[in-house]
Amino acid sequence: MSDDMNELDTPTFRLAVAQFDQAAERMNLDPNLRQRLKLPERSLIVSVPVRMDDGTVKVFMGYRVQHDSSRGPSKGGIRYHPDVNLGEVAALAMWMTWKCALAGLPYGGAKGGVRVAPKELSRGELQRLTRRYAADILPVIGPDKDVPAPDVGTNSQVMAWIMDTYSQQVGFAVPGVVTGKPLSIGGSLGREEATGRGVVYVTLEAMRHLSLDIDKASVVIQGFGNVGSHTARIMRESGIRVIAVSDASGGLYNAKGLDIPELLRRCNQDGQPLHDTKLGDWITNEELLALDCTVLVPAALSEQITHKNANKVRCRVLAEGANGPTTLEADQVLTDKGIFIIPDILANSGGVIVSYFEWVQDAQRFFWKAKDIQDRLQEIITAAFHRTLQFSMAQQATMRMAALMSGIDKVAQAHLARGLFP
């Protein structure tokens, strides 16, 4: 890694750059562009002071990184997590650029985050933190500039506070400044479940391509947050047995298939921890990743499948619901084992695809039906899957390489067409 990357140099950023380098090498990318696209356009670091309920003031580190804006406003979520750092946010921003380009959305990539454990804050503290962070990044966001959305640890309420903070500043309601908002202020039907629904659509396509029988298939999901829980529900509704799910404390396993509706009722409505539901046997996260299954969906954090556990993974299809769940070494091990990988920038693109629908609806002040959203999501993500599959077969490249090369190529073409300023 060159010296100019020191500030960003973390394991996750190194993973994103290593993937980019592999793809750039293979596609013989223009060396000038290669250097440009390795680094984000703009990285903003803010320190966010928050009055806590006990009267003291705590300061949290916040970030917003815009990787590329050659094809349109930059787009990407905001993450609240105790491990958030500049390098991680920069890596996630780079992945957003390739993800948007691959799906054909008119966006560049961005990401934001605050280093905080949101569950430890009261609702009032969370609101004050969000509003101050929003005020601090306000100069760089906007519906035509950079459009945040939910990610790990944030939700529609957090987006509503950001929308309100921005709107208060400019003096009128600006719904299009964020996506993933509540319906009452210009959110879209189907946005919350969109990433999970997209994971299911591409998984079904992969199973069809590999001639795998849905009736006999089993799915294991790591993570039971927004992506994991909707993936579990929609897999079940599509007739696929979900045999294990997990959260940060461990996993629940039932070989006959978990009762997902009951699990969702207890966890989401009654607030029961996964462990207390007793709807299956309790297993460790390591055991969960090593379960014999048709489809494994990592839907939690990055770097979960590594050189340490990759050889134990026993799925036929890996559908990456999370961003960056597989390290470079692990990727090679899984590929050698013949596992069909649906890479993150394709598998989890349903979220940003429906974010795009939300932004378009906000701009037009005209809202679509749930069926329109689902049909258009399916059309876009399925087309992206098949384009990637064709390209991977034509180039004899893995699905990950094919997805990265397609995304990078679209961004490269935009840079070459626009030229370098000044």
The CA distance from 61 to 107, in Å, is 26
Binding residue count for ligand GLU, defined by CB under 6 A:
11
In terms of C-beta density within 10 A (0-12 exposed, 13-18 middle, 19 or more buried), how is residue 249 classed?
Answer: exposed
Our CA angle for 267, 272, 278, nearest 5°, is 90
43 forms part of the interface with ligand GLU (CB under 6 A): no
CB of 352 to ligand GLU, least distance (A): 4
Instruction: Show the binding pattern over residues 341-380: x = contacts ligand GLU (CB under 6 A), - = does not.
Output: -------x--xx--x-------------------------
323 forms part of the interface with ligand GLU (CB under 6 A): yes
CB of 181 to ligand GLU, least distance (A): 11
Q: Looking at beta carbons only, is 101 or 149 nearer to ligand GLU?
A: 149
Which residue's CB comes closest to ligand GLU?
77
Instruction: List the one residue from 126, 134, 149, 245 that touches ligand GLU (CB under 6 A).
Output: 149
Find out whether 50 and 129 touch, Cβ atoms under 8 Å. Answer: yes
Q: Looking at beta carbons only, is 78 or 260 nearer to ligand GLU?
A: 78
Q: Looking at beta carbons only, is 223 or 280 nearer to ligand GLU?
A: 223
190 forms part of the interface with ligand GLU (CB under 6 A): no
Token readout for 162 is: 């950001």
Residues 6+ apart with CB under 8 A from 240: 214, 217, 218, 219, 295
CB of 98 to ligand GLU, least distance (A): 11
CB of 7 to ligand GLU, least distance (A): 22
Cα 369 to chain centroid, rounded:
24
The CA distance from 105 to 83, in Å, is 29
Reported as type and span, the H/E element at residue 50 is strand 42-51
Q: Which of these is catalytic: 38, 75, 111, 410?
A: 111
Instruction: List the one residue from 40, 62, 77, 321 that touches ligand GLU (CB under 6 A).
Output: 77
The CA distance from 330 to 328, in Å, is 5
To the query of whether residue 111 is one of the catalytic residues in this protein, the response is: yes
Residues 6+ apart with CB under 8 A from 186: 163, 173, 175, 176, 358, 361, 362
Residues acting as catalytic residues: 111
Q: Could you list the residues that contact ligand GLU (CB under 6 A)?
A: 75-77, 149, 151, 179, 323, 348, 351-352, 355
